[in-house]
Amino acid sequence: MPDLIAIYPGSFDPLTNGHLDLIERSSKLFDQVVVAILTNLEKQPLFTVKERVEMLESVTASLSCVAVDTFSGLLVDYAVRKHAHVIVRGIRAFSDYEYELQMALMNRKLEPKVETVFLMPGESYAYISSRLVKEIVQHGGSVKDLVPPAVEERLRRKVAAGDVTA
Ligand code: PNS
């Protein structure tokens, strides 16, 4: 049987403990997991692509079947280039489902060979989002337990540098 390769795509701006939980769960299900950072975000990201790659690489270093990569353009085209048959997406709450379903069905329409698999994070991560993490940091709150320590440190440095303002 050929290796089962999964792509876990996202903006990861920044990576949270919820993302990490899903990466760990995916690594137990698939032979290879490629965490793929979308480079052409519509919004101005807080972290550069290089910073996001570095953070993801440092927190996934112990997971030998996980690789970190970047992509632009259509996700399904990238998945085909990577010989991946699976896209992994996380569903935290019912509110995620509508958008995720639409995206999964559109991706399937564009490329029927690639299936989307939804995974649920551990319930203690269900309320975490990158958007809320940035908002908390902007207003001086603590994001301990929400993001890996390496990300917390980078966020602290962004605040000190004045890159994150309320
Ligand atoms: O973490 P995010 O921001 O929710 O991830 C969204 C992402 C990167 C998975 C999505 O925006 C995406 O796949 N973008 C690539 C462009 C694409 O393929 N668009 C068509 C989706 S149906």
Domains of the chain and CATH, by start: 5-126 (3.40.50.620)
92 carries an active-site annotation: yes
CA 31 to ligand 1 centroid distance, Å: 23
Predicted local confidence at residue 4, as pLDDT = 97
Q: Map the chain to HEC letters.
A: CCCCEEEEEECCCCCCHHHHHHHHHHHHHCCEEEEEEECCCCCCCCCCHHHHHHHHHHHCCCCCCEEEEEECCCHHHHHHHCCCCEEEEECCCHHHHHHHHHHHHHHHHHCCCCEEEEECCCHHHCCCCHHHHHHHHHCCCCCCCCCCHHHHHHHHHHHHCCCCCC
82 carries an active-site annotation: no
Predicted local confidence at residue 13, as pLDDT = 96
Cα 121 to the center of its chain, rounded Å: 12
Pocket residues for ligand 1 (CB within 6 Å)?
Answer: 9-11, 38, 74-75, 103, 106-107
d(C-alpha 76, C-alpha 53), whole Å: 21
62 carries an active-site annotation: no
43 carries an active-site annotation: yes
Q: What is the pLDDT along the chain (166 residues), one digit of tens a residue?
A: 789 999 999 999 999 999 999 999 999 999 999 999 999 877 899 999 999 999 999 999 999 999 999 999 999 999 999 999 999 999 999 889 999 999 999 999 999 999 999 999 999 999 999 999 999 998 999 999 999 999 999 999 998 888 886 6
Global confidence as pTM: 0.96
Ligand 1 atom with minimal separation from the 87 CA: 9
CA 77 to ligand 1 centroid distance, Å: 12
